[in-house]
């Protein structure tokens, strides 16, 4: 496999992990709970923003470092 194909596979895996993590939210959804005064939904969204950014940054950095 060439490097471009591996990059697309890694990006696809990161995307699938991201979709799965967003899909499990309704399992523990509750309108009563809050963390730090924010509903759990907003806290989960903030956490997922960071997790998603790290996943896609890791894929990009791994393939960019091998490029040079």
At residue 63, the pLDDT reads 80
Q: What does the pLDDT read at residue 16?
A: 92
H helices of 1-68, in order, are 3-23, 40-67
Mean pLDDT of each 10-residue bin along the chain, 68 residues long: 83 89 75 75 86 88 71
pLDDT at residue 39, rounded to an integer: 80
Show the domain range for 58.
3-67
Cα pseudo-dihedral 4, 10, 16, 19, rounded to 10: -100
- What is the predicted pLDDT for the residue at 31? 64
The pLDDT, as a whole number, for residue 67 is 57
Question: How many domains does the chain fold into?
Answer: 1
Confidence (pLDDT) at 53: 92
């Amino acid at each position: 496999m060439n490097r471009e194909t591996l990059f697309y596979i890694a990006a696809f895996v990161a995307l699938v992990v991201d979709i799965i993590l967003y899909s499990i939210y309704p399992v523990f959804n509750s309108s009563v709970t809050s963390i730090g005064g924010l509903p759990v939904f907003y806290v989960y969204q903030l956490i997922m923003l960071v997790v998603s950014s790290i996943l896609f940054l890791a894929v990009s950095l791994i393939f960019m470092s091998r490029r040079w």
